[in-house]
Amino acid sequence: MRQLVRNVKIIGTGSYVPDTVYTNKYLETILETNDEWIQKNLGIKERHIAATNQTTSDLAANSALRAIGNAQLSVADIELIIVATATPDRKAPSTAAIVQDKIKAYNAAAFDISAVCSGFLFAMSVATQYIASGVYNNILVIGADTFSKITDWTRRDAVFFGDGSGAAILSSANVTEGFLAYRLYTDSSDEKFGFTIPAGGSELPITQEIIEKKLHFFQMNGHAVYDSAIKVLPKAINQVLEDTGLTIHDIDLMIPHQPSIKILQKTAEQIGLPFEKVMTNMDRYANTSGGTIPILLDEVHRKGLIKKGNNILFAAVGSGWTYGAAIIKWQ
């Protein structure tokens, strides 16, 4: 049995989604799609959409304050803020720096992580290294995205995403509970632009022509995402099971990224996990990218579905392809 990370646990969770809701029925009125197809293939009924003047950091700050409250800490206790996002407020400064100011957590260092839909998992793994090594004790990890801002609302792949943020406070633990294992992977050799936001960086700076070509919106090859996801998720999950010496029968709950119901059903089938143990909320929020895992974690946590001693499995896949899995023994 190999334990990658010890003595780091989640002591608080929080989440926030904007008020405006776009139902599938509403999307039927603005683009070529239909409610039945979306529900059957993706498991989505509606998604929350940020207001025009609402930024990723606004969502992130709201979820952060809820997580800090849930952990019974004050903002002054936070020593590091990590924001996982693919839709930062600006290229500079980091969204984490903007969140620091919005929540007034001036004792904390702050930076962003870019791993798209796997971002929260990657960010949690970074946080655990600082805690496990004794550098920091209380770290605020946030996953937040506003994909509505990079969506071409005339294209049918607009149905996939929603806006939202979730946060967790990671802290040191005295016992061998909390994170038992982590595995992160990046495979850029196979369709790394299967999901991409082409413009706005150094390759294609924004110009009038770029905007006319709509290259500042996300582009997705749905088949490439599906094919990659059903291959890599079982690989990462089986590896963390092996690392911990647990079997799939020891897993009490799975809190996965929320790409589509079909991907999760196929993954559960491949790893031999009954689907009732797989938590989902994409019916209400769609894919909030960096936000999916922490929003779902917060919901499941607040509903009291996680019991002391439960083995919780996390798994995610995102553009790159980035992917990974983790197991926590809940304290």
Where in the sequence numbering do the catalytic residues fall? 117, 257, 287
Binding mask 54-93 for ligand COA (x = CB under 6 A): ----------------------------------------
Task: Tell me which residues in 99-158 interact with ligand COA (CB under 6 A).
Answer: 117, 156
For ligand COA, the closer CB: 210 or 220: 220
Phi, psi of 319, deg, nearest 5: -50, 140
Among 25, 104, 213, 223, binds ligand COA (CB under 6 A): 223
Burial class (CB in 10 A: 0-12, 13-18, 19+), 222: middle
- Closest CB to ligand COA among 200 and 222? 222
Mask for 279-308, x = binds ligand COA (CB under 6 A)? --------x---------------------
Q: Tokens for 256? A: 């996965």
34-53: contacts with ligand COA (CB under 6 A): 34, 37-38, 41
Q: Give strand ranges (E) for 125-162.
A: 138-146
- Tokens found for residue 302: 């607040």
Residue 33 or 114 with smaller CB distance to ligand COA: 33
Q: Which amino acid is at 10?
A: I
Residues 6 or more apart whose CB falls under 8 angstroms from that of 125 comprise 5, 182, 184, 324, 326
Beta strand pairing call for 80-84 and 138-146: parallel
According to the binding rule CB under 6 A, does residue 260 interact with ligand COA? Answer: yes
User: Which H/E stretch holds residue 235?
Assistant: helix 222-244
325 neighbors 313 (Cβ within 8 angstroms): yes
Which H or E run includes 84?
A: strand 80-84
Identity of the residue, 267 or 287, whose beta carbon is nearer to ligand COA in the bound complex = 287
- Identify the three-state secondary structure at position 321: coil
Judged by CB under 6 A, which of 255, 263, 264, 313 binds ligand COA?
A: 263
**Pairing mode, strands 109-113 and 311-318:** unpaired
Residue 26 interacting with ligand COA (CB under 6 A) = no
Question: Residue holding tokens 């700050």?
Answer: 61
* Residue 157 beta carbon to ligand COA: minimum distance, rounded to whole angstroms: 6
Query: Tokens at residue 137, please?
Result: 């004790």
**At closest approach, how far in Å is the CB of 177 from ligand COA?**
32
CB of 268 to ligand COA, least distance (A): 15
Q: Which is nearer to ligand COA, 59 or 117 (CB)?
A: 117
Min dist CB 71 to ligand COA, Å, is 30
Structural contact between residues 188 and 322, judged by C-beta atoms closer than 8 angstroms: no
Q: Is 293 strand, coil or helix?
A: helix
| Residue 104 contacts residue 110 (beta carbons within 8 Å) | no
Residue from the set 6, 216, 262, 266 that interacts with ligand COA by CB under 6 A: 262
Task: State how beta strands 195-196 and 20-23 pair.
Answer: unpaired
Q: Which residue is nearest to ligand COA (CB)?
A: 222
Which residues in 2-57 belong to E strands, given as ranges?
Answer: 8-16, 20-23, 46-49
Contact call for residue 216 and ligand COA (CB under 6 A): no
Taking CB under 6 A as the rule, does residue 195 contact ligand COA?
Answer: yes
Least distance CB 19 / ligand COA (angstroms): 24
**Interface residue list for ligand COA (CB under 6 A):** 33-34, 37-38, 41, 117, 156, 159-160, 195, 220, 222-223, 225-226, 259-260, 262-263, 287
